[in-house]
Amino acid sequence: MESNVIEIRVRKQMLTAHGLMDLVVETTVEMGKLVVLFGDSGAGKTTLLRILAGLTNPDEGFIRFGQTIWLDSEKKINVPPQKRNISLMFQDYALFPNMSVEENITFAQPKSNLNEAEDLLRLLGLAELRKRKPSGLSGGQKQRVALARALARKPKMLLLDEPLSSLDAEMRILLQDEIEKVHREWGITTIMVTHDLNEVFRLASQVIHLENGIIKRAGTPESVFSDTSISGKVQITGQIVHINQQSVVNIVTVVSGHNQIIKVIAFDSDLENLKLGDQVMVFSKAFNPIINKLE
């Protein structure tokens, strides 16, 4: 029995806008990775997240976290949510309105520890806002407080349900950086729901692509979406989500606002003014795509 993986085998009948659908998932997730559940609305992403958290019971299933069994329907094992040591962060923040930023964080701690709360405030750029109530915060600030509060529980697994969907494009990029930084420094197994390809390429080490309740593909972002058609005669704006630097040429992956993936060949000189997260325009010149940074 591998101790560094999460084994998931679940089946759940769901009622969707298109009628009954069976969510059938069988996969493994390596601990310590940031995994994205990707797919259209109604594909089963949030339901799977809730099953992992213990908030929704599948019709049948088995979940093993390392060497600990959380769920085994055949043996009637179902560890309650509070004993799975999971933090689940929803889209709506759910902050306590009568508590300050600092109080929201310390309230979530298993045992009050001001030093650890201070570390979280500093890590997420909230130190100067510690005494503010949620009503005095912007959407991005509330999102950082919600993330800090989720981390304050010292979870074994962090579950994020489209945490950035309500933010504008600029704030989404900033918060993507925060999530990536937190994951890098804390190393918590993180499973994040999104239907935004920008977030997939910027954050995920593994993607599980759900479609109509089943896994369509799974793997790295590059492998999962490698068969997406790419047009050479284009004039599209988008965001750089991946730069694959090679010995002779480089491959720059750009995702447009409509989740279209474009791969562009770029020389080292082209990359001098380009980095991950840059907004760019891809256009064709003599049948070869050219990439320019947008000012």
Domains 5-224 and 235-293 share a fold: no
Q: Does 235-293 carry CATH code 2.60.40.1480? A: no
Question: Tens of pLDDT along 195-254?
Answer: 888 788 889 999 999 999 999 999 998 888 865 444 445 467 788 998 988 777 788 998
The answer on pLDDT for 284 being more than 70 is: no
Which has more confidence, 40 or 13?
13
Would you state the pLDDT for residue 231? Answer: 44
- Crossing angle for the helix pair 169-186 and 139-152, nearest 10 degrees? 20
Report which residue type is found at 13. Q
Question: Tens of pLDDT along 87-136?
Answer: 998 777 789 999 999 999 999 998 888 899 999 998 888 999 999 999 99
Would you state the pLDDT for residue 290? Answer: 62
Which has more confidence, 264 or 248?
264
Q: Is residue 281 very low, low, confident or very high in pLDDT (cuts 50, 70, 90)?
A: confident
Would you state the pLDDT for residue 229? Answer: 43
Query: Span 126-147, mean pLDDT?
Result: 92
Q: Is residue 293 very low, low, confident or very high in pLDDT (cuts 50, 70, 90)?
A: low
Domain boundaries in the chain?
A: 5-224, 235-293
CB atoms within 10 A of CB 216: 13
CATH number, span 5-224 = 3.40.50.300
Would you state the pLDDT for residue 107? Answer: 93
